[in-house]
Structure 1
Amino acid sequence: MKVQRINTSPYASNSYLINGKILIDPGMDMKKLVEKLEELTDPRNIDLIILTHGHFDHSAAAKPVAELCDAPIAIHKDDASSLKSEETSASMLFSSPAPNFEPDILYENGDIVRISDTEALQVIHTPGHTPGGISLYEPYSKGLFSGDTVFPNGGIGRTDFAGGNIEDLSRSIEKLTELDVITLYPGHGPVTSEDVNEQIRLSLQMSKTFR
């Protein structure tokens, strides 16, 4: 699995281009994202856009990028409606309207997204930061795209936005401790391959202090 990280601003989410064809979390700035994508690939090669959740900093650029690439947008079914709400998309924090579009694909826990002949992403429903948050695990390379569920060094996602729930988040992180992860690709911050399983266990401990 070839993963290329893109970040367009300190406030936007990380975007990840997988094998030049799948884009996770386009972020907020369509123009800057496309400029960086064009340095890596022909954007028209992208055939799927995945949102780890519906917050504005992950999803605002999704629709215009999807139209450019002619690619479908996928999100967990429990976060689809958040894309139309300024409150649940948290767009009001950016003084912007909600992304306001209909996703093309609705995921459920356990869905599989094929990314090559030998590799696939497992969709893991990890609510807590949002009701429909997901993490994506590739078992061959042992890579985990954690959205805003966990971050390096024991960090966890906020639960004080609309739809957030710390008990749900803690249970979701507990799911992630059952995986064997070599590389963590978080929604914000640096990618890490340093004892990631222990870092996720620290995140679980952190979440339990708020319960």
Structure 2
Amino acid sequence: MKWKKLTVGPVQENTYIIYNNKEAIVIDPGSEGKKIIHAIESLNVKPLAVLLTHAHFDHIGAVDDVRDKYQIPLYVHKKESDWLSNTKKNGSNFFGQSITANAASHLLSDQDNALKIGSFSFEVLSTPGHSPGSISFYLKSAGAVFSGDALFAGSIGRTDLYGGNQDILLKSIHEKLMNLPEETIVLSGHGPETTIGMEMDSNPFLGGF
């Protein structure tokens, strides 16, 4: 199991292509659809689905490019299903933009604890706070969690946008992410990778956890 990180768009969002043999999953195609498609083609893999950790504008800008190119389904938490078309909720209006995506074909809920697509088996962790429907995808076989904007190297997600709540975010991180093995690689929506253990030891926002 491997992954390729592409940093895209004006706010340097991390898009991930996870691949196993000839199959792939695309997580958070945020912008620069041509760049993402070129990377997929270079890897010579077949995407099976697009997964969203949440539906903020910087994570959805290239959803339709990738989905239309490969005719694959889109998964998002049901609490943010309407964010794909609502520029106020997805935050693009706040930044003077209008970024949208077509409706998702698969809606996840807090009760969906697992997701199997092709050869990929994810644990679905509900990690709200940065946004109400934020989820993290834990790929145990790879020892990695795709945390979206919940947890960063040395920081946590902002909570001043629509639906954000810092207390809920800290609870999510503590109960869901900090319970993963310390060697788990954290692949965030922005910035460099880190590990659960490193964040336990040094993240200034997680004192007492």
Aligned residue pairs total: 202
Deviation at residue 8 of structure 1 after TM alignment: 2.4
> Which residue of 2 is the match for residue 164 of structure 1?
164
> Which residue of 1 is the match for residue 115 of structure 2?
113
List aligned pairs for 1:1-211, cutoff 5 A: 1-19=1-19, 20-42=23-45, 45-109=46-110, 110-114=112-116, 117=119, 120-153=121-154, 155-175=155-175, 176-180=177-181, 181-193=183-195, 196-200=196-200, 202-203=202-203, 206=205
- SS of the equivalent of 1:4 reads strand
CA–CA distance in structure 2, aligned partners of residues 201 and 114 of structure 1: 32
Quick one: percent identity of the two aligned structures? 32
C-alpha deviations, 1:6-53, integer Å up to 9, x for none?
1224514211111141000001221222233322235xx111000100
TM-score by length of 2: 0.87
CA–CA distance in structure 2, aligned partners of residues 113 and 76 of structure 1: 12
TM-score by length of 1: 0.86
C-alpha deviations, 1:69-89, integer Å up to 9, x for none?
111010011111111211110
Q: Contact 1:53–1:79 at 8 Å: present in 2 too? A: yes
Unpaired stretches in structure 1, ≥5 consecutive residues: none
Deviation at residue 208 of structure 1 after TM alignment: 6.8
Superposed CA RMSD in Å reads 2.1
Moved more, 88-97 or 164-173: 88-97
Cα distance change, pair 200–81 in 1 and its aligned pair in 2 (3 A)? farther
Residue type at the aligned position of 1:112: A
Unpaired stretches in structure 2, ≥5 consecutive residues: none
Q: Contact 1:12–1:28 at 8 Å: present in 2 too? A: no
CA–CA distance in structure 2, aligned partners of residues 25 and 86 of structure 1: 17
More strand by share: 2
Cα distance change, pair 36–8 in 1 and its aligned pair in 2 (3 A)? farther
Cα distance change, pair 122–108 in 1 and its aligned pair in 2 (3 A)? same
